[in-house]
Amino acid sequence: MRLILLFAVFVILGLALESAGARVLSFRSLIPNLIIILAVDLGLRHHGVIPAILAFAMGYATDALSGSHPGLNAFMMTMVFLVSYEVATRLMTANAGVGAVVVFFSVIATALATVAMANGFNALSDTGWMLPGLTLQAFISALIAPIIFAILSTTKRLTGLTATSSRERSIRDR
Amino acid sequence: MKSSFLWRNRVLLTSGILLILSLHLISTGVHPGDLAARPQSAMLEVISPVTGAFTHLSDGASSIVSDYMDLVHVRQENAHLRNELARVESDQARLKELEVENQHLGELLELRDVLATNAVAANVIGSDASGISRTLILSSGTDDGLAPGMAVLANQGVVGKIIAVSPHASRVLLIDDHNSALDGFDQRTRARGIVAGLVDDGVMLKYADRSQDIRTGDTIVTSGLDGIFPRGLLVGTIQSVHREGPGLFLGVRITPAVDFRELEQVLILTQPPPHLPDQAARD
């Protein structure tokens, strides 16, 4: 329950910041994708049914403020969670550096996948103009990700939640 | 229990089910009144005040930064004078802002009178959260009489249509979004087509007959046949016409009349436009 409440607060703040930021900054690429960072944190550090549902819910919440195909962001965030989970279960560590790399590729992959799923794969041929801005946004998101992970980790500790993945804990205990 | 297949693969299985659920939502769509639309409406209702507050704060911050830049040389001369001037400038900026807002609302009111239909004015409080689609968040919702499918206009022309509503907020799909389409025609040649957004940030007049003499600079207006926008509203001007290629239709790019980034207030038509099949057929 604490995890759900914690992420609900972060998602509301993140979406409001992204939405308001897009109004203020004319260059949209400067705004990091905060929801992907949250989904990656869930996938790297929380392995269970509730975190998976939480990732889906985060995406569905994003659908309320983005796009015209409800379910699209829910699909993307579940995929990001799943990829992050797979990364965390295969690597010895799931530190902020690994998270930043996953965030970088997730921002680019989800944007292109969103265009492809909403308009068909032919539309990908028109996405060349998006790539420089998208890469910049992915880079900024990856740059800011360790800070968000640290804030999340501190908040989790303060609320009595575990801030490391079960795999990391089992390796540490050995 | 913990060694069972289901338990070991619970994350993968849950994610798999959720992915299938997402695909189901994407393929069937979420319609107003659906059970799946309620969380969306609730989320829009929860987030829109926070977004509005952030937008207000950031507008204030930009105003402060702008004031500071203007007054930096005065600051060096006299601290007292600077503070006094800052206060006056701030009041002036606020008054100017009110004047601009008043002017915008006045123009929207004139537009409403011209259209002779019921309309509601709303403030733009946010943009698309992901940035991949082109949508806006408005400060009015079902409590103000808004519903999905209603036309959204600015005094310069067509903005888009409402796609989601909550009691106090709503979302607009802009005409330059790649999922947007409306019926329009060239005012000079009367050639009809579908005004549609493109993935590459542009707007196009699709399905315009190759035999038509459409030229750069022509004005595109709404036809009223889509049942959303009244006839004759300005959509934009033709930016380029491509006649090359083997297709049946022209490649017509449009520059929208409205600068969507600068939008602050919009007008939402709460009544559908009158159906004009005979007039359209004559064209």
CB-CB neighbors (< 8 A) of A59 in chain B: 22
CB-CB neighbors (< 8 A) of A75 in chain B: 19, 22-23, 26
- pLDDT bucket at A77, cuts 50 / 70 / 90: very high
- pLDDT bucket at B46, cuts 50 / 70 / 90: confident
Q: Please write the tens of the pLDDT for every residue from A124-157.
A: 777 777 888 889 999 999 999 999 999 998 998 8
Query: What is the token pair recorded at B194?
Result: 């579908």
pLDDT of residue B86: 67
CATH number of B38-174, picked from 3.40.50.300, 2.40.10.340, 3.40.710.10, 3.40.50.20: 2.40.10.340
Least confident of A55-59, B68-72, B117-121, B241-245: B68-72
Cα-based torsion angle of the residue sequence A173, A174, B2, B4 in order, rounded to the nearest 10 degrees: 150
Per the listing, tokens 């590729």 go with A105
- pLDDT bucket at B98, cuts 50 / 70 / 90: confident
Alpha carbon of B151: minimum distance to chain A alpha carbons (Å): 16
β-strand pairing of B219-222 with B203-206: unpaired
Helix (H) or strand (E) holding A7: helix A2-24
Annotation: CATH topology of B181-257: Thrombin, subunit H (2.40.10)
CB-CB neighbors (< 8 A) of A115 in chain B: 132, 178, 199
Domain boundaries, chain A: 2-164
On average, the pLDDT of chain A sits at 86
CB-CB neighbors (< 8 A) of B30 in chain A: 70-71
Q: Does the distance separating the beta carbons of B137 and A31 come in below 8 Å?
A: no
pLDDT of residue A171: 64
Option in B11, B51, B135 nearest A16 (CB): B51
On average, the pLDDT of chain B sits at 81
Alpha carbon of B188: minimum distance to chain A alpha carbons (Å): 31
Q: What is the mean pLDDT of residues B199-226?
A: 86
Q: Are B131 and A22 in contact (CB under 8 A)?
A: yes
pTM of the predicted structure, to 2 decimals: 0.77
Q: Please write the tens of the pLDDT for every residue from B21-30.
A: 999 988 887 7
Give the sign of the dihedral formed by CA A151, CA A153, CA A154, CA A160. positive
Its ipTM equals 0.86
Q: Does the distance separating the beta carbons of A115 and B26 come in below 8 Å?
A: no
Q: Please write the tens of the pLDDT for every residue from A88-104.
A: 888 877 788 889 999 99
Domain boundaries, chain B: 38-174, 181-257
Q: Please write the tens of the pLDDT for every residue from B252-279.
A: 899 998 888 888 889 898 887 665 444 4
Q: Are B186 and B195 in contact (CB under 8 A)?
A: no
